[in-house]
Amino acid sequence: MAQAQAQVARAVAVWGAGGAGGAVPPLPCTPDALPGALADARWDTRFTVAGVAGPDGDAPHVADFARDLDGTVLATGRFRWLGAERVEPLLRAAPGQASAGVWAPARDTWEIAPPEFGGFSSVAVGPAGELALATTGLSPQIWIDSGAGLQAIAQLNAASDAFDYVRSMAWYDGALWVAGWFTLTNGVSNLAVWDGVEWTQAPNGIIDGPVYDLLVDGQTTLVAAGTLWRGEFPPQERMVLRFDGTRFDWLAGGVAANFVSDAAVTAEGLWFAGAIAETGVGADRVSTVGIARLGWPR
């Protein structure tokens, strides 16, 4: 206050009572008078973004995609806005529209409300159109809609953080497979299988590290990629496994890496990304950095 009064006194001394402009100039940062009543004010809509935006100022993100039976693409993650439209964190794009950025809310009705400050880390569509969602937040769950609306079928035993959450889900041989770094309340961890009635550990017993991605080629091949696996799979720390319908084994010698975070299938073969150093074993060993492809010679 004393500093402001001193500034006024100096201004009066310089400008005089009448001053060069006839009045004492306003102080720096002096607020203007409000142009109207606060009750009539509205938030400005010009400061939105073209894509998705989050609920609390944190950076929003899209975590996962899935293709529905009719060819539409589903996108989920942690967001609450699509441009200027308030949405729940599950969007749908009609065939051919995803690349054009034409998205719309995927559901009209939510039997369970999405987490207020969380979202979904994974989405999957089953062979009969079932929808599976994995939530994030303080009490993460796994939800499924088999035609009668969303219902929770599993509870994780700890809140989501930077690493602990469901990373990937896929239907294989009529069951829902769930991968990540987590433990369900029944003790099943990291790679769990839901047969419609109960959760069980994946074949070969407990996986002792996170499983970051699942890849299903039709309904004939299931591939799991992650970090650390049990020593019964020599050589150790080969991070890509193939399920043959009964048990897991290394896929073409596996991948040597600190972790394999992503997997995809294209017409050119199976692709893997992560902190990768080499693939294969023995005479088939190949040095590769960051990305690897298992394909067929042309």
Q: CA 83, CA 94: separation in Å to the nearest integer? A: 18
Q: Is the CB of residue 207 less than 8 Å from the CB of residue 189?
A: yes
DSSP 3-state assignment of 194? Answer: strand
Residue 126: C-alpha distances to residues 14, 37, 172, 174 (Å): 79, 54, 9, 8
Q: What is the pLDDT of residue 77?
A: 94
What is the pLDDT, as a whole number, of residue 284? Answer: 82
- Closest residue by Cα to residue 176 from 130, 137, 213, 114: 130
Query: What gap in Å lies between CA 115 and CA 120, rounded to an integer?
Result: 8
Q: Tokens in use for 96?
A: 């051919």
Give the span between the Cα atoms of 107 and 160, in whole angstroms.
Answer: 24
| DSSP 8-state symbol, 33 | P
What does the pLDDT read at residue 92? 96
Taking only the tens of pLDDT, the chain with its 298 residues reads 555 556 555 655 554 555 555 555 555 555 667 677 777 777 766 666 667 766 665 667 889 999 999 999 999 999 988 888 889 999 999 998 888 888 999 999 999 999 888 899 999 999 999 999 999 988 999 999 999 999 999 999 988 877 789 999 999 989 999 999 999 999 998 999 999 999 998 876 556 778 899 988 766 678 888 875 554 445 555 688 888 788 787 788 888 888 888 888 888 888 889 888 888 878 888 888 889 898 887 6
| Distances, alpha carbon 129 to alpha carbons 30, 97, 148, 153, 194, in Å | 61, 20, 12, 17, 16
Q: Which residue has the tokens 């996170």?
A: 210
Residue 78 contacts residue 136 (beta carbons within 8 Å): yes
Task: Give the pLDDT score at 7.
Answer: 58
